[in-house]
Structure formats: C-alpha cells, structure tokens
Structure 1
Amino acid sequence: MQKRKKYPLSRRIRRFFKKQFRNPRKRLFLELAAVAVIIGIVIFIALSGQNIATDDVKEGVAYIEGLEATDTASIEEELRQLRRAERKAALESGDLDVWAQFTDIAIMGDSRAMGFSSYNLVDESHVFAALGGTIRDIDTYTDQLVSLNPSNIILCYGLNDVGYWSSVNDYLSDLDKTIEELQTLLPQAIVYVNSIIPVTSSALESYSKEVSERIQDIPDWNEAISQHCEDNSIPYIDITEEVETHRDLYDVDGIHMQKAFYEYWAIDMITEVTENE
C-alpha cells in the first residue's frame, strides 16, 4: 500500500482552515473565535507590561484591522439566506408540515385568500377574506382578530384594490394606515404584506377597459409595494416567482388559483414568517 504523504503541521493547519472557511457558518464562527483569542493575547501583553513585537502578534493585529474593514453585513445576509433555503427545503420535502405552521397566523384578503379555508387547508377561524375584499375591509374583522389574537397577520389583497385606488402611491398611504390600525389593535402582532397575484391575459376581458388597464400595471405595483416595504421595514412576501413557475395552476377563469398552488404559496409565507420569529 502506498504510504500516505505527511505534510508539515503548518500546512495541515492551513488546509484545515481553508476547508472550514468554505462553509459560511463555520467561517463566521472561526472569525469571531479568532478575534476573541487575538484580543486576549493583546490584552495579556498590555497588562504584563512586556514590550513584545513578535511576528505572530503583528499578524494578529493586522488580522483584527482587516476584520474591522470587512463588511460583516454581507456575511450575516449570507447566513440569513442559508437559513431561509434550509427552511424552505424542509417544507418542500415534507420534513416540516406546512399547514401545521398556521396555528398562530391570520390570513386576510380577497377571494383568492379564501382558498386557504375553502380548500380546507387552513382552519377557517384563521382566514378573514371575502369576495371583492380590499384593505378597506379590515374593520369588518376587528372582533374576530382580537379573539384569535394571532402573532402574525398576512395581508393578501391587491387585485380589487387596483381597481379602486387610482395610483399606487395613494394605495401605499392607505396601506400604511391599515397596518397601523392592525398594530394598534394587536401590538404584539407582525403584519406582512403579500405581493399581488396578477391575472392571465385572457381574464382581462372580464373587466372594464379602465380596470383592465390598471390590472395590467400589477407588476409595477408589486415593485413599488416591495420597495416601500423594504424602506419601512415591513415584512414582504414575494410570490411572483411561484406564480410565474406555476402558471398552469391558474383556475379556468384566469383569476383564481387551483388548490395545488396554495402549498407553494403557503411555503413562501411560512419561510418569511419564521425569518421574523
């Protein structure tokens, strides 16, 4: 048998750390540990009154200075995206039952949100939705919301709102008021805004010309709403990719969604909700 080559200790240590640094979590932990050790060494030297200027200490100081210049926010974002991917994979694989995650969530919206209860996916006591619903209808559910006392409220409006509000800026102003009302009603609850699901091109024929033109602007509305939520630290659930990927799951009217779509929708919801727990 060929004798395994034995590398010098210093080289083996370097190879070990390079391997660990490929993993973003391990990289962050190692960096923090290294900072703690090096700071400890520097403090020890300072307290001992020794004038030691070894190459190791010089390298340690240089490393700390380098970490100070590092954008730790990018590492934190990388870890956050990793956690999101892990949770979503667990939900998609069935390791986590997505519907069991809705015990402390209220879904509010229009007829498309009604599908969560009408398809018997989420308990109807957690779904506050109606045909033609808009954010103006929040007050209708005040008593039921207080009774449920959910930790998370997801707003799934937009299609009908586009027909009532002449501009997205006017809509955003009223959306902020709606969120404020909900937070006053339930101070501990986190309010989420879900992206608007557009309709198919064939479904546009069922609307008046004016409303049809507004509905075609839904992608622009979603972009404006998403940016507004980001600017104001409002959690935003973007299901645009799921809608595009599963266009075959539109119902025959081109407006509502088939039952199979709701699991994809729910996974995006829960992925975002767990991010804010």
Structure 2
Amino acid sequence: MSKNKMIIMLIGIVTLLLAACGNQSGSRNPASLTLNEGDNPATSKQASYKKLFQRSLFLGDSITEGLSYHDVLNEENVLAGAGKTAQFALEDVEELVKRKPEYIFIQLGSDDILWPTDNPKEYSLSYYAQLIDEIAGKLPDAAITLLSVTPVTAEAESSEPRYLNIGEYNEGVKELAAEKQVGFFDLSPIVADHTELYDTDGIHFQAEYYPILLDFLKDKLGYGINTK
C-alpha cells in the first residue's frame, strides 16, 4: 500500500471516529442533566411549604427563627429572633402589620420564663395579652394561633431548672388563647415523637423538625395542599 493511500485511510478512520463521538454526545439532551426544582422531591416539598404558608407569618424567638434560618420558609414569613419575649415582640407589631399576613402564628415564652422577675409567667402573659390585642386591633381579619413553648431535654432542665416551668407556662398560654378567642396548638406531642431532632443544646431543633411542625399545622388547619 502506497504512503498516500495509507494517509487517506487514516484520515477516513479518524473522521468516522469523530463522527461517532459527535452522534453519541448529540443523543444526550443537555437539558436532561439539569435538575429542575420539581425533579428533586426535597426541593419540591420545600417549595410547597413556602407556597402553602405564603400568606402566613410566624412571630417568635430563636426556636421560631429556625423556620427561615433553615430555609424552610421565606424570611418575609418569619419575624423572630434570639431573646425575643412577649414584651419585646410588641416592637414588631408595626412590621408585622406591614406584611399583612392572613394567618399569624405566635410562639413565645422560651425566653420569657427565664426573665429575672418575681413572677415571669404573670409578667410575660400580661405583655402577651397586649400583643394579641394590638395585632387583632390592626389586623382584625387575620387568624391568630398561639403555639406552646416546646419542651426541652432532661439535660437542659438540669442545666436550667427554670425550664421545669414550661408546662405551667403553656397552661397560661392556653387560657390566654381561650380568653382572647384565638387558636392554640400544643406542640409537645410532635416533639415527643421526634426527640432525635433536638439540637445539641437540648432546646433548639435541627432543620428536619420544621417540616414536621408545618405538616402538623397544615393538618390541624386543614390546608388544602399536599406537601408530600
């Protein structure tokens, strides 16, 4: 075989190989490698919670803040922060009203029971009552629901004995809800069923707790959207 024929044959083989590789690459749609929000069950469920509670606002302390911190809900649906008490929450009423929520969930008390006063429960609930009155007065059509203070672990109670008063405080919140004719949900059952979701301090919760909380509220309120 002449040198020229051999070169022509090699060029032909290389051309065929390149064409084959090109066809193989072309058979895969690049778009199929892109993960859309709906293709990821976790992301899709997270988006469902944000949609479901887009007309809601959660007011509370650092435990409530976990909803936005862990990106379970959007920040505009959460008005919370570390150290928040019923007294300090009064400062948030103006901002809360600006957001015009239709459903308001309030979870306060975890910091209130630690307040350095002779009767933290009585002191806190007096401000809690004022908070409800102010919100209801400015947003009369909004549905207000009080959430109980979540229990802490035995270790956390041992480190801070004032947490032993959580049960008594929650009874006060329940009575206040009845007095003000607003909703009240006791969260202790879902915490008892998921003790593995406590954070290391035995007070706060890991990210996985918050979808469970929202499922609980969804079922209680009969929201008509499936997040599963």
CA RMSD of aligned residues (A): 2.2
Shift of the 233–272 alpha-carbon distance from structure 1 to 2, 3 Å rule, reads farther
- Structure 2 partner of 1:262: 210
Q: How does 1:159-170 map to 2 (within 5 A)?
A: 159-164=110-115, 166-170=119-123
| Distance in 1, Cα, partners of 2:85 & 2:172 | 18
Larger radius of gyration: 2
The alignment-based identity, stated in percent, is 26
The one-letter amino acid of 1:230's match is A
Match of 1:182 in 2: 135
Q: What's the offset of the Cα at 1:205? A: 4.9
Q: How many residues align?
A: 176
User: What letter matches 2:103 in structure 1?
Assistant: N
Counterparts of residues 114-263 of structure 1 (less than 5 Å) = 114-164=65-115, 166-206=119-159, 212-263=160-211
Task: Supply the AA of the counterpart residue of 1:122.
Answer: L
Q: Which amino acid aligns with 1:142?
A: V
Runs of at least 5 residues in structure 1 that lack an aligned partner in the other structure: 1-93, 207-211
Change (3 A) 1:232 1:188: closer
SS of the aligned residue for 2:105 comes to strand
Once residues 176 and 94 of structure 2 are traced to their aligned partners in structure 1, the CA distance between those partners, rounded to angstroms, is: 29
How far apart in 2 are the matches of 1:260 and 1:195? 19
Q: How far apart in 1 are the matches of 2:200 and 2:161? A: 21
* TM-score, with structure 1 as normaliser: 0.58
Aligned AA for 1:176? A
SS at match of 1:107: strand
- State the alpha-carbon separation in 2 of the partners of residues 122 and 254 from structure 1: 23
Q: Deviations over 1:53-87 (max 9, x none)?
A: xxxxxxxxxxxxxxxxxxxxxxxxxxxxxxxxxxx
What TM-score results when the alignment is normalised by the length of structure 2? 0.69
Q: For residues 170 and 142 of structure 1, what CA distance do their matches in structure 2 show?
A: 19
Instruction: Could you list the structure 1 runs, at least 4 aligned residues long, displaced by more than 4 angstroms after superposition.
Output: none
Q: CA deviation at 1:231?
A: 4.8
Partner amino acid, structure 2, of 1:119: H
Residue 232 of structure 1 and its aligned partner are, at CA, apart by: 4.2
Q: Distance in 2 between matches of 1:260 and 1:214?
A: 27
* Counterparts of 1:254 and 1:97, CA distance in 2: 29
